Amino acid sequence: MSGISGGVDALVVVALVLVTAAATVAAHTRDPARQAAVLSGLGLCLALLFLAVQAPDVALSQLAVGSALTPLLILLTVRKVRRTGRGDDTPGGSQGHGGRKEGER
C-alpha cells in the first residue's frame, strides 16, 4: 500500500512544482495578453494539483473559472482598454466628454 501513497505524494510534489513555476512566470510577465495566456496555464496546473489531492469538484471549477473564464475576461478587458486608448470606443468620438461641445452642459 505504501507504493500507491508514494506515487500520489510524488504527483502532488510535481503538481506543486508546476504551480510554483507557472505562478512565477505569470508574476514576471509584463504584457497583459501574454499574462492571460500564462494565467490559463496556471489554472491548468492548479486543476492538476486539485486532482492529485483528490478534489475533482474543485478541479472542475478551477478548469472552468481559472483556465477559461478569467483569462477570457482579461483579454476582453485589454482589448477594450487598448481600443479606448486609440479613441475608437469613446461615446462622443475622441472628445472624451460624451460628445458635448465646449460650453454645453
15-19, 56-60, 77-81, 91-95: lowest mean pLDDT where?
91-95
The rounded distance, in Å, linking the Cα atoms of 39 and 47 is 12
1 or 17, higher pLDDT: 17
Each domain of the chain, given as residue ranges in start order, spans 2-86
Does residue 91 have a pLDDT over 80?
no
8-65 confidence digits (pLDDT tens): 789 999 999 999 999 999 999 999 989 999 999 999 999 999 999 999 999 999 999 9
Q: Could you tell me the pTM of the whole model?
A: 0.71
Measured distance CA(64)–CA(43) in Å, rounded: 9
Amino acid code (one letter) for 58: V
Per-residue cell: 66? 481559472
